[in-house]
Structure 1
Amino acid sequence: MIQTTQSKGRIGNYRWFICAMLFAATTINYLDRQILGLLKPTLEKIFSWTESDYSYIVMAFTATYALGQLLYGRVIDHIGTRLGYIISVSIWSIAAVMHAFIRTTVGFGLVRALLGIGESGNYPGGVKTVAEWFPKRERALAVGIFDSGSNIGACVGPILVPFILALYGWQIAFIITGSLGFIWLLVWLFVYEVPARQKKLSRAEYDYIHSDNDVETPSAGGLSWGKLLGLRQTWTFIVGKFFTDPIWYFFLFWLPAYFNASFHLDLKKPSLPLVIVYTGTMIGSIGGGYLSSWLIQKGWPVYKARKIALLVSAIAVVPILITRYTNDMWLVVSLISLSVAANQAWSANIFTIVSDMFPKKAVSSVVGLGGMAGAVGGVLFESLIGYILDIFKASGNIVVGYNIIFLVCGSSFLIAWLIIHWLTPKMEPVNL
């Protein structure tokens, strides 16, 4: 039963509290995900990892993350966002804590695989929750805000993890960060329901949330993967994720090692360069979402606002190519900060186009398909990264290996944008 508003004309802001919950979940998700990259220099000495060994462990996470997104997308469309998040956060928090008790390289691969299964539910659930709680004109901003949690997690990690590592060791670092998910779960259980069943939501805000929704068709939730894959709109999202998600995995899992190798950054101490880089991602997430929402408020068609925001983001990644021509660490930090910010601005908008083009009941399924494609691209790219870095590390020129990888990073977003534009020039909603 939805309560009537006490103040006529006042919309209310409960939807933004829900967005804050998604933000917190994503922060924890990425903190649990990134901690391995921050502990890599310590763990590779303890367990004698090669660059390829590390890439296999990362690939174990990415492979199950790919499969998990496909399955979670379908499951969440059927069981709903409340239960979907409970299952997802429970699994990934258990897996995160289990890292502390592993003593073999194979063991790390197994718990990373379990972590991938759990964490894969965050984005299918988050994007669907935004579609349920926000009108189209606010969705990109809401997605940008909750997606910026990935960047807060990435910013907190370089400060928190070295501090815990120095005082208590790497095992306690996994236990402390992994336990945060259980705290989030307790809050979620008490505060979350879908808008139609949320007693704290006013009628005015409920009506505002649904003010520009398209009419849902009864068959929308029954779309099979086969039918979804037959739609150009689905392939728009798949392409956008396949070409760009691998770049974010590189930024997340290899940047700490890059700064360690290139500038001898001590990852056992709080790392200001990494904090600056990942702070840029937070600005990109919110800024990218704000840009398309602002253009829509100015009267631009939704598809044009999203398309321009994606193009601006793709162009802003390109300057990462310049890093190969300088040895100035702070210039490199600036260039990479711009690129990772643009990466996250792209992410805020690429997720939002799903809710623009598909009915709510199909959103998680499409996000799952695209997420799987992005993770598959990640597996392929991570394998290539490990191969390239081992070759150049053996010759004593590992920085050259990173420069080759930056060439891929700088061009992939523009390639993705051109294919997206060819597939759906006006990003028309699907006709069911």
Structure 2
Amino acid sequence: MNAGIPESHLTDGSGAANSGSAKSGIGVPGADGSGADRQGIHPTAGRYRWVIVALLFAATAINYIDRQMIGVLKPTLEAEFHWTESDFAGIVFWFQLAYAIGYLSFGKVVDVLGARIGYAIALVIWTISHMAHGFASGVTSFAMARFGLGIGESGNFPAGIRAVTDWFPQKERAFAIGLFNAGANVGAILTPLIVPLLVLWFDWRVAFFVTGIFGILWLIAWWAMYRHPNEHARVTRGELAWIQQDPADPVEKIGWSKLLTVRETWAFALGKFLIDPIWWFFLFWLPGYLFERYNLDLKTFGLPLAAIYLISDLGSVGGGWLSSRLIKAGKTPNFARKITMLICAFCVLPIWFAQSLDSVWAAVLVIGIATAAHQAFSANLYTFPSDVFPRGAVGSVVGIGGTVGAFGGMGMALFAGYILDTTHSYEVLFGICAGAYLLALAVVHLLSPRLAPAKV
């Protein structure tokens, strides 16, 4: 039930069969999943798959710059348009509703069209919508722009995880996903450093137009450089053998109606439902929290916020590295993924007390460790579909999970707006953050105790 596929089922990323090509895998040791001449397979036989990870990393960074700008600009926009916390929560709600719809749709799009085309479609939609923010003039127009952004940005992870599934064997996937997922933190680091400067030099509308150019440049690079590994001129036969070393699985498409009846689908989806709202909360409300709690302004809050996401980056890479390392050391994927997630869940617990810290840098450390733990936990949860589902179902399962997670985020947005308008305190919200990851791991383990292949 892993990523390797026999040459008769290899696709070009669009779902079409691709047999008989120069890189079809015929004669490549281990390409058929049989284990023949497996000693000839080596991770250094080629390295182009890491170029693909670099592209995914860059796209995810751009995705998060575009996504987080509304949070960084929250104090500026609230002052100009006189928004309440509930007004801001409503704008976030429409983004997450679109994200829920788009995530489910893009999961299917990626399964049918492949990563190359699916990612390009997503990028075009989200870049146009991102730049449309520069024309917004109030709650309604911002909500419309955010809705379009949510539709487009929802394609990032289904397409990225499909690309990793196509380009990496199981033993490397968690690390690869951790690497490209670290782009989220780089984007979150860059946003509070770049955007305030653009606002101070020009204004907030120009900031949306300038950052939109990043997406256009990435799209050009993606279209020029990405192909399925089976048909890529830069992939050596040795690297192709390494990529395809896992036992073969079928690539026939599996419908949502079937997937929704499988326990493993809900293990992933409910895990996302519990942890995704926490990340959305960090992303959209942390800038305002630093402004209010520590009396920072547009010139001074960028460095503490960037430091939080710099720490997060270490967690994203470290979480993927740890579980991959444990697997290489002989541990089962079930043990490796879950022990890593358990460590992460414990690392989030101190955030409950963050609001009591009077030092901004002490708060940065505690919140940074929590966000790093989220990213490490998330990197391992994201490997779950490719661990237990056949390739033809991975995009759809990721889409289902992302949709359920976005619904959780919608509820968290409305709840956060209500709590902050009524209590003006983050204590309840930080308490929810602290307990979410232990509960998520318990749900995943209950529904998939052995990380066994899903019976689909």
TM-score, structure 2 length as denominator? 0.90
TM-superposed CA distance for 1:3, in Å, is 10
TM-superposed CA distance for 1:340, in Å, is 0.3
Q: Cα deviations across residues 61-120 of structure 1 (Å, max 9, x unaligned)? A: 011001100010011100111000110000000111111111122000000000000000
Aligned pair count reads 421
Find the counterpart in structure 2 of residue 395 from structure 1: none
Equivalent-residue separation in structure 2 for 1:218 and 1:307 (angstroms): 27
Q: Which runs of 5+ in 1 are unaligned?
A: 393-397
Q: 1:282 aligns with which of 313, 322, 334?
A: 313
Counterpart amino acid of residue 217 in structure 1: P
Equivalent-residue separation in structure 1 for 2:349 and 2:257 (angstroms): 35
TM-superposed CA distance for 1:326, in Å, is 2.5
Matched, 1:2 2:40: no
SS at match of 2:45: coil
Name whichever of 19-28 and 322-331 sits farther off.
Answer: 322-331
Equivalent-residue separation in structure 2 for 1:224 and 1:3 (angstroms): 27
In the alignment, is the contact (CA less than 8 A) between 1:284 and 1:344 conserved in 2? yes
Moved over 4 A (4+): 7-10
Counterpart amino acid of residue 2 in structure 1: K
In the alignment, is the contact (CA less than 8 A) between 1:2 and 1:200 conserved in 2? no
Equivalent-residue separation in structure 2 for 1:274 and 1:317 (angstroms): 17
Equivalent-residue separation in structure 2 for 1:155 and 1:362 (angstroms): 33
Matched, 1:156 2:190: yes
In the alignment, is the contact (CA less than 8 A) between 1:165 and 1:268 conserved in 2? no
Q: Which runs of 5+ in 2 are unaligned?
A: 1-21, 29-39
Give the 3 Å change call, closer, same or farther, for CA 63–3 of structure 1 in structure 2.
closer
Name whichever of 302-311 and 286-295 sits farther off.
Answer: 302-311
Find the counterpart in structure 2 of residue 134 from structure 1: 168
TM-superposed CA distance for 1:324, in Å, is 3.5
TM-superposed CA distance for 1:359, in Å, is 1.0
TM-superposed CA distance for 1:137, in Å, is 0.6
Equivalent-residue separation in structure 2 for 1:249 and 1:431 (angstroms): 32
Q: Cα deviations across residues 30-62 of structure 1 (Å, max 9, x unaligned)? A: 000001111111111111111000000011101
Find the counterpart in structure 2 of residue 97 from structure 1: 131
Q: Cα deviations across residues 249-297 of structure 1 (Å, max 9, x unaligned)? A: 0010000000001001112446211011010110010000001001001
1:361-380 alignment, distance < 5 Å: 361-380=392-411
Find the counterpart in structure 1 of residue 178 from structure 2: 144
Give the 3 Å change call, closer, same or farther, for CA 380–360 of structure 1 in structure 2.
same
Equivalent-residue separation in structure 2 for 1:16 and 1:422 (angstroms): 34
Equivalent-residue separation in structure 2 for 1:82 and 1:388 (angstroms): 42
TM-superposed CA distance for 1:328, in Å, is 2.1
Find the counterpart in structure 1 of residue 391 from structure 2: 360
Equivalent-residue separation in structure 1 for 2:139 and 2:441 (angstroms): 38
In the alignment, is the contact (CA less than 8 A) between 2:167 and 2:229 conserved in 1? yes
In the alignment, is the contact (CA less than 8 A) between 1:159 and 1:270 conserved in 2? no
Equivalent-residue separation in structure 1 for 2:41 and 2:132 (angstroms): 51
Equivalent-residue separation in structure 1 for 2:196 and 2:417 (angstroms): 24
Counterpart amino acid of residue 86 in structure 2: S
Equivalent-residue separation in structure 2 for 1:23 and 1:262 (angstroms): 32
Matched, 1:333 2:364: yes
Matched, 1:381 2:412: yes
1:214-363 alignment, distance < 5 Å: 214-217=247-250, 219=252, 221=253, 223-269=254-300, 271-363=302-394
Counterpart amino acid of residue 250 in structure 1: F
In the alignment, is the contact (CA less than 8 A) between 1:41 and 1:257 conserved in 2? yes
Q: 1:61 aligns with which of 88, 95, 98?
A: 95
Find the counterpart in structure 2 of residue 182 from structure 1: 216
Matched, 1:50 2:76: no
In the alignment, is the contact (CA less than 8 A) between 1:318 and 1:410 conserved in 2? yes
TM-superposed CA distance for 1:431, in Å, is 2.8
Counterpart amino acid of residue 411 in structure 1: G
SS at match of 1:103: coil
In the alignment, is the contact (CA less than 8 A) between 2:24 and 2:230 conserved in 1? no
Equivalent-residue separation in structure 1 for 2:141 and 2:403 (angstroms): 24
Give the 3 Å change call, closer, same or farther, for CA 87–275 of structure 1 in structure 2.
same
Give the 3 Å change call, closer, same or farther, for CA 8–111 of structure 1 in structure 2.
closer
Report sequence identity in percent: 44
Give the 3 Å change call, closer, same or farther, for CA 229–3 of structure 1 in structure 2.
closer
Name whichever of 355-364 and 320-329 sits farther off.
Answer: 320-329
Q: Cα deviations across residues 374-393 of structure 1 (Å, max 9, x unaligned)? A: 1000000110000010112x
TM-superposed CA distance for 1:215, in Å, is 2.1
TM-superposed CA distance for 1:430, in Å, is 1.4
Matched, 1:407 2:425: no
Which has a greater percent of helix? 1
